[in-house]
């Protein structure tokens, strides 16, 4: 009967051709897909709230008698509105329905019903109101009701009936996935019982028990797949880097490496000397010195007769890496830069020198993964700000050589739970120290009322010899609803140039400018010829101007926490005091919470944890960046303990049965292979 799970969903009672097409648009194509299509929330109809105990803002079930006939009228705009009153004796509640032409026949005066909806107050604040609630006869309360993700053409109740029929027909056919030892160890529900209780719970205890079982299985399968993929990649043979030159390189640098940098370099050097292919993530906060680590490794690789490549997401960052690494290496390493702006003649000459081995290190943007780029002996592929590239783009760089060592760098600190998912197949080195002399950035959150004062402060700083950024969420006005009152970079530039900062050298930088123009402005700012840079988030990543001491972020509520942290990292790179000013009039809880976190800490890892909690894993990294499946039930914030347990259990299972070939692991192997088949690199 297990084969029944693979049958088309149309074989479920009540699912015809039309409904099958509707379900397919939601990713539900088989009986198994339907059984594992989980509710997004639940409505608790089991304990109606007395009307005298209602509170505005709560979503609850109430029970009472319709005390007036339903009155219906149409507004001048054409909206059909129906009203009536509900009473349970001591309490009253007004019921309002919109554009429901059948409600007068459905609700009868003197009859008792249960209603479920959100409670608000009327315009006068005198009476509670429930608008367009769901309802059932008062003698038939449904208890706990599952609510499914729905569409305009497919309602939650229709999905629920299809799931209920699927459980009745095929629920007993679902094979157990987990070994008996794990079910016993954690006292988990069997799979059949878990599916029944997740879809048809009698109470909240059923939901908790079912979720616990299904979340553990989901995370165990994910961790097994990541471990298997990581182990396979780590076993790949890589060129052995015989001579370690990193200590000699470090001694030539004009600054001392931190302990974290030395540790990361040693970990990477050991990987490259092992004969196996290094696959490592170098994760560090803004200004932690990742480029110096990469440079030390490149110097060693080149010294052993091989080539290196570094891919950056923007031309600004690629140019900066080229200049920085050229200074680090001196004349001993031949470095080249390849971007979309490289002239045809220079590109042709560069590609030829790369193919013959005359170029040691190639730095560039996506241009380095184009078909015409061929290396002589590529042994180290580095990707900077890797989350800005898709999975396929990162893999394309590795394919330029014969199993080169891979180093991916990220200045976006990632919570441990998320890194276990996104980078489960990579070894991780963390730079958790900042170089000596780095000063903390003082951070303030103010309203737009402070703009004149902020601009006077900017003028004072510039006249004192410092530089500054003003970051805006838009390039030009009209890109979004004018009611949002957002300040564009062009508008801000025009205002400052004609107003408070008139006469000072101001530059404008945004993503719509031609590459050559962007490079000209950025070079002028780096050289100190431009004192104030009005820009969009094009400067978010990697831009290093030590003399920049102030950054003002307009409409700060428009940016995520990690993005704000990246922007703040553009200052505080010199030895003097630096300031970040976040300008926002937003009063909603989410925006206020983000700005409070920014004021309270400059620890990127704490900020990343807060960002994950506020935004959720779905927004922190998309599937395009991670190359991994999204999770149906698991939440990396609330289910961290289950994730750690699943990681440990996956390791123990694979230690005893590396290929998952034992009979008790057959179902796990099948599900793991099916999950990762969709997301193969």
Assess whether pLDDT exceeds 60 at residue 177: yes
Assess whether pLDDT exceeds 50 at residue 483: no
List the structure tokens of 579.
């300031």
- pLDDT for 390 equals 55
503: alpha, beta or left, given left = phi > 0 and alpha = psi -120 to 50? Answer: left
- pLDDT for 628 equals 54
pLDDT tens-digit readout, 512-539: 888 788 888 988 998 899 999 999 887 7
Assess whether pLDDT exceeds 50 at residue 622: no
Q: Are 335 and 290 in contact (CB under 8 A)?
A: no
Assess whether pLDDT exceeds 50 at residue 624: no
Q: List Cα–Cα distances, 231 to 167, 452, 666, in angstroms.
A: 38, 58, 19
Task: Count Cβ neighbours within 10 Å for each residue of 607-628 and write b for 16 or more, e otherwise.
Answer: bbbbbbbbeebeebbeeebbbb
pLDDT tens-digit readout, 70-93: 999 999 988 999 999 999 999 999
Higher pLDDT, 678 or 300: 300
- pLDDT for 485 equals 67
Assess whether pLDDT exceeds 80 at residue 30: yes
Half-sphere CA count of 285, side-chain side, radius 13 A:
22
pLDDT-based confidence at 417, cuts 50/70/90? low
Q: Phi and psi at residue 173, in whole multiples of 5°?
A: -85, -10
- pLDDT for 661 equals 92
Distance (Å, whole) CA 43 – CA 300? 62
Residue in 541, 485, 544, 473 with CA at minimum distance from that of residue 510: 473
Task: Give me the mean pLDDT over the 284-298 stretch.
Answer: 89
pLDDT tens-digit readout, 493-511: 999 999 889 999 999 998 7
pLDDT tens-digit readout, 231-290: 655 566 778 999 999 999 999 998 899 999 999 999 999 999 998 889 888 988 777 889
- pLDDT for 12 equals 93
List the structure tokens of 395.
């893999």
Task: Give me the mean pLDDT over the 607-636 stretch.
Answer: 63
Assess whether pLDDT exceeds 80 at residue 336: yes
Distance (Å, whole) CA 141 – CA 61? 10
Q: Are 274 and 240 in contact (CB under 8 A)?
A: yes
Distance (Å, whole) CA 477 – CA 482? 8
What domains can you pick out in the chain, each with its CATH number? Answer: 1-46+144-174 (no CATH), 51-142 (2.40.50.140), 177-235+638-681 (no CATH), 246-431 (3.40.50.300), 441-601 (3.40.50.300)
Distance (Å, whole) CA 421 – CA 636? 9
Distance (Å, whole) CA 576 – CA 549? 8
Higher pLDDT, 393 or 626: 393
- pLDDT for 110 equals 95
Pairing assessment for the beta strands 578-583 and 548-553 based on DSSP bridges: parallel
Task: Give me the mean pLDDT over the 389-395 stretch.
Answer: 60
- pLDDT for 676 equals 72
Distance (Å, whole) CA 664 – CA 48? 46
pLDDT-based confidence at 546, cuts 50/70/90? confident
pLDDT tens-digit readout, 119-138: 999 888 889 999 999 999 98
Assess whether pLDDT exceeds 70 at residue 422: no
């Amino acid at each position: 009967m297990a084969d029944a799970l693979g049958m088309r969903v149309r074989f479920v009672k009540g699912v015809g051709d039309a409904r099958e097409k509707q379900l397919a648009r939601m990713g539900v194509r088989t009986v198994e897909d339907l059984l594992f299509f989980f509710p997004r929330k639940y409505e608790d109809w089991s304990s109606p709230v007395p009307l005298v105990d209602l509170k505005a803002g709560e979503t609850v079930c109430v029970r009472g008698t319709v005390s007036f006939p339903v009155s219906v009228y149409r507004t001048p705009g054409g909206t059909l509105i129906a009203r009536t009153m509900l009473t349970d004796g001591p309490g009253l509640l007004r019921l309002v329905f919109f554009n429901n032409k059948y409600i007068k026949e459905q609700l009868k005066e003197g009859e008792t019903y249960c209603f479920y909806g959100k409670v608000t107050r009327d315009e006068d604040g005198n009476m509670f109101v429930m608008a367009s609630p769901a309802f059932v006869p008062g003698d038939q309360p449904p208890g706990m009701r599952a609510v499914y993700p729905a569409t305009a053409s497919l309602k939650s109740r229709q999905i629920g009936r299809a799931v209920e029929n699927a459980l009745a027909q095929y629920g007993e056919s679902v094979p157990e996935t987990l070994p008996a030892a794990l079910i016993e160890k954690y006292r988990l529900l069997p799979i059949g019982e878990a599916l029944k209780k997740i879809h048809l719970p009698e109470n909240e205890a059923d939901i908790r028990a079912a979720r616990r079982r299904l979340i553990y299985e989901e995370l165990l399968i994910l961790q097994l797949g990541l471990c298997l993929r990581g182990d396979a990649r780590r076993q790949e043979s890589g060129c052995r880097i015989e001579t370690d030159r990193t200590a000699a390189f470090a001694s030539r640098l004009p600054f001392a490496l931190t302990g974290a940098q030395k540790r990361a370099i040693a970990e990477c050097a050991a990987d490259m000397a092992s004969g196996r292919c290094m696959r490592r993530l170098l994760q560090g906060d803004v200004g932690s010195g990742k480029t110096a680590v990469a440079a030390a490794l490149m110097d060693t690789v080149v010294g052993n007769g091989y080539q290196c490549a570094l891919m950056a997401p923007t031309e600004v960052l690629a140019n900066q890496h080229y200049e920085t690494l050229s200074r680090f290496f001196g004349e001993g390493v031949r470095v080249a830069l390849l971007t979309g702006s490289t002239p045809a003649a220079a590109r042709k000459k560069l590609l030829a020198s790369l193919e013959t081995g005359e170029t040691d290190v190639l730095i560039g943007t996506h241009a380095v993964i184009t078909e015409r780029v061929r290396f002589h002996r590529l042994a180290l592929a580095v990707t900077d700000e890797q989350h800005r590239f898709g999975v396929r783009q990162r893999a394309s760089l590795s394919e330029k050589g014969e199993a080169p060592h891979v180093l991916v760098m990220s200045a976006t600190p990632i919570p441990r739970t998320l890194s276990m998912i996104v980078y489960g197949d990579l070894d991780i080195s963390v730079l958790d120290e900042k170089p000596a002399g780095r000063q903390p950035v003082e951070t303030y959150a103010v309203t737009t009322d402070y703009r004149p004062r902020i601009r006077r402060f900017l003028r004072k700083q510039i006249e004192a010899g410092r530089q500054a950024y003003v970051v805006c969420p838009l390039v030009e006005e009209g890109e979004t609803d004018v009611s949002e009152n957002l300040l564009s970079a062009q508008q801000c530039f025009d205002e400052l140039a004609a107003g408070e900062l008139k006469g000072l050298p101001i530059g404008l930088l945004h993503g719509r400018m031609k590459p050559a123009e962007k490079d000209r402005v950025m070079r002028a700012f780096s050289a100190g010829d431009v004192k104030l840079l009005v820009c969009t988030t094009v400067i978010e990543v990697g831009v290093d101007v030590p003399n920049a001491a102030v950054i003002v972020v307009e409409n700060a509520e428009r940016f995520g926490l990690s993005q704000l942290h990246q922007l703040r990292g553009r200052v505080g790179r010199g030895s003097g005091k630096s300031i970040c000013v976040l300008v926002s009039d937003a009063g909603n809880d989410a925006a206020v919470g983000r700005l409070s976190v920014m004021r309270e800490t400059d620890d990127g890892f704490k900020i990343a944890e807060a960002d994950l909690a506020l935004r959720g894993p779905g927004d922190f990294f998309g599937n395009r960046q991670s190359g991994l499946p999204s999770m149906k039930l698991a939440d990396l914030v609330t289910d961290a303990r289950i994730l750690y347990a699943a990681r440990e259990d996956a390791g123990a299972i694979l230690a005893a049965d590396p290929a998952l070939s034992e009979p008790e692991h057959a179902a796990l192997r099948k599900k793991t292979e099916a999950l990762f088949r969709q997301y193969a690199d």
